[in-house]
Amino acid sequence: MPQILSDSISSTDFDDLEARRLEIQRFLKANVASEVRNGRILNGRFLYYNGWKSMNLQSAFKSSIFAVMAQIFFGEMATEPEFAAALSRYPRDLGLSASTKQYAPRVIAPIIEFIMTRNESAKQTLARRLTLVIDQSKTTKVHGVLQSLITSARSKADVSCPSMALAETILNLWLIASHQSLLVLVYTVFRACTRILDGEKMRREIGDQDQRTCDSLNSLPLLHKFMMQAIEDNSFIKGSISADLLPESQGESKSVMSSSLTDTDFKAAAKTSRPLVFLAAKITVSHFLTNFNARIAEETSLHLKDSVGKSLQASEIRILVRDRHYIEENYL
């Protein structure tokens, strides 16, 4: 099972990420603002006139978190039109593939999957591009985090890893890390909504989030503790990734790689990327908490009552959100 990534990263990679911090912050801020604007206006005179909107946390943050994690993992390559389009389509293809295998008759499932995923064209596009970069990395330095993963994976003298196999492994790491980052974000905001005083303490600790560097974001003890507690409260985040996010062929990929890159070796390769799961989530949480008020929506409260003793699914979490600077108006 994949482990939650959490603690250390090389200073070189932080320098590389810091160069992109403002760009990443602008992107996330614009996305959060857009999602709040597009939130469902609530029925009911009081809530409607006082600026509250309803939004599903997972749906609201998914596309931006996956896009930012792509920037962190792949650098400028993530902005290449063909590569970016394939990155956007790949998780969706995996979901379609899983649904097809689950619901379509076994005889015709492969045909439907072939058509719906365009013969896994997104995965093939990504793997080919990454393979080229991996081959070039022997003579040309590539994006910091990607370079670290490649170097770590090939650090052992007795490891001879095919470039295509390593490309698919890095791609799966991005997918897993992106999904874990999304879950950490969703449950951290959820905790902030259910523990109002703790949420206020985090706001004070964050201060002016525009002035926060990648390094300083990772040195906020309360925010980090809050995220870790969200993980502890929902233990499946540590090692359980939704079935529709992991390709069925992953087992085949592991068997191909078994002689060259074992699970243990891959943990070493992933070590330098541990803070990446938290970074995109921390940037988003710091902006969200300092700019918006939020509370649990009524339908989520009902789910909570129905799932006592169980973890609330991320897809079930809906919140009410409003700009912190909204001026209350009296319509009574």
Instruction: For residue 51, count other CB atoms closer than 10 A to its CB.
Output: 18
DSSP 76-104: GGGGSHHHHHHHHHHHHHHHHHHHHHHHS
For residues 161 and 142, which has the higher predicted lDDT (pLDDT)? 142
3-state secondary structure of 296: strand
pLDDT band at 263 (very low <50, low <70, confident <90, very high): very low
Distance CA 268, CA 4 (A): 14
What pTM did the predictor assign? Answer: 0.75
Confidence of residue 329 (pLDDT cuts 50, 70, 90): low
Mean pLDDT of the chain: 72
pLDDT of 129: 92
CATH number, domain containing residue 190: 1.10.630
Residue 244 has pLDDT above 70, yes or no: no
63 within some domain: yes
In a domain, 1, yes or no: no
Geometric angle at alpha carbon 151, from 147 and 154, rounded to 5° = 145
Q: Dihedral, CA atoms, 306, 241, 252, 95, nearest 10 degrees?
A: 70
Of all residues in the chain, the percent with pLDDT exceeding 90 is: 2
The residue-averaged pLDDT of 280-298 equals 85
- What stretches of the chain adopt beta strand conformation (E)? 40-41, 53-56, 292-296, 318-323
What is the pLDDT, as a whole number, of residue 312? 65
pLDDT greater than 50 at residue 206: yes
Percent of the chain clearing pLDDT 70 (strictly above) = 67
Read out DSSP for 259-289?
A: TTS-HHHHHHHHGGGTTHHHHHHHHHHHHHH
177 located within any domain: yes
Of 7-11, 178-182, 313-317, which gets the smallest average pLDDT?
7-11
189 is a domain residue? yes
Task: Residue 80: give the domain boundaries.
Answer: 11-323
Question: Out of 53-57, 154-158, 299-303, which region has the weakest mean confidence (pLDDT)?
Answer: 154-158
User: How far is residue 88's CA from residue 131's CA, in Å, rounded to a whole number?
Assistant: 19
Beta strands 53-56 and 40-41, pairing class: antiparallel
Q: Is 2 domain-assigned?
A: no
**How many domains is the chain built from?**
1
What's the pLDDT score for residue 82?
92
Higher pLDDT pick, 127 / 246: 127
Residue 96 lies in a domain: yes
- Whether 4 maps to a domain, the answer reads no
230 domain residue, yes or no: yes
pLDDT(283) > 60? yes
Helix (H, G, I), strand (E, B) or coil at 109: helix
pLDDT (average), residues 1-15: 41
- Using the predicted structure, report yes or no on whether residue 78 has a pLDDT greater than 80: yes
